[in-house]
Amino acid sequence: MLAYTFRRLLIMIPMLLLISIIVFSLAKLMPGDPFTGEIDPNNTDPEYIEEMRERLGYNDPIPIQYKRWMTDAINGDFGKSTTYKKPVTEVILDRLPRTIFLAASALIITYIIAFTLGMYSGRYPYSVGDNLIATFNYTGIAIPQYIIALIAIYFFAFQLGWFPYKGSATPGLDSGTIEYWIDRIHHVILPAITLGLFSTASYTQFLRNDIVQNGQMDYVRSARARGTKESLIYNKHILRNSIIPLITFFGFDLGTLIGGAIITETIFTYPGIGLLFVDSVTTRDYPVVMTLTLIFSFLTLMGNLIADLLYGAVDPRIRY
């Protein structure tokens, strides 16, 4: 398993290199010029502008600019935000904990609901409850995320007043108190449910179908013929094999939840890196956009690696 992990990490290096080339090329092809955010906007002297372009390296050939950017990125220097006038790392680290909290909350809610509904539907297929859950699943899969967010804000924030519709915390609360964290949880519930609804519906349906299919396998019939308790058959034979496909989605979730937070954070005005990405695209803050794109790509690759490693923990046959 250690050798396999090492090989996968080595494979990630050329993939990240290719992704960095694509990100850098797209940034260069974008309309506008990031240089305009790094100079004095009140100085329109052509000599000053040309001097600054030369000093900042914007007149260098594209390969040299890419090499310089990539070298600095490897050393942890992602440049300076043209909007916030401070290092990109500081800008992202200021927002990242909120997005991690949102993604973790969405992941917890997703798996709790998916396992509860999926196990019930799989154990009692074609019942009234199973049909109601299937209706919920197909509705959650069919409706776009931004529509769900708007509906959730209208009913649960405006009509019922159960949850706030924007922000990550109420201003003025001390961050070291229990009230602050209760308020953080209160603010994150609605966007977390919205962010994880599509995954919840998908996972519930996948788990339900796998439980029904595995319940008809020969090894399950043999276990019943030997007089094994039904609860033991369900928990050890059926359920354990049925959760293997969900391990794959868990790996993808590590990247897609943070990437999917772009839409959710924008609608709920949740100050995480998703909203930061949208604002940076709007203001043409290319250093931030390029760095966040690399982060999203890296998290997706790491999610795939974690999913493959978890396979071996769930199914011992994969270890060999």
SS3 at position 48: helix
SS3 at position 284: coil
What does DSSP assign to residue 156? Answer: I
Look at residue 130 in the predicted model and tell me its pLDDT. 87
Look at residue 40 in the predicted model and tell me its pLDDT. 59
d(CA 123, CA 237): 13
Instruction: Please give the distance of CA 75 from its chain centroid, rounded to a whole number.
Output: 25
Look at residue 107 in the predicted model and tell me its pLDDT. 85
CB 258 within 8 A of CB 103: yes
CB 79 within 8 A of CB 287: yes
CB 303 within 8 A of CB 255: yes
d(CA 157, CA 309): 41
Domains of the chain: 92-319 (1.10.3720.10)
Look at residue 279 in the predicted model and tell me its pLDDT. 87
Look at residue 320 in the predicted model and tell me its pLDDT. 47
CB 106 within 8 A of CB 195: yes
Neighbours of 70 (CB within 10 A): 14
What does DSSP assign to residue 270? Answer: -
- Pull the structure tokens for residue 7: 């090989």
d(CA 70, CA 91): 19
Which is nearest to 202 in space by CA: 114, 303, 132, 308?
Answer: 114
Residues with Cβ within 8 Å of residue 72, at least 6 apart in sequence: 78, 79
pLDDT mean values, one per 10 residues, the chain (320 residues): 73 84 80 61 65 71 83 84 85 88 87 86 86 88 84 87 83 78 87 84 84 78 78 74 71 69 85 87 84 84 75 60
Look at residue 132 in the predicted model and tell me its pLDDT. 92
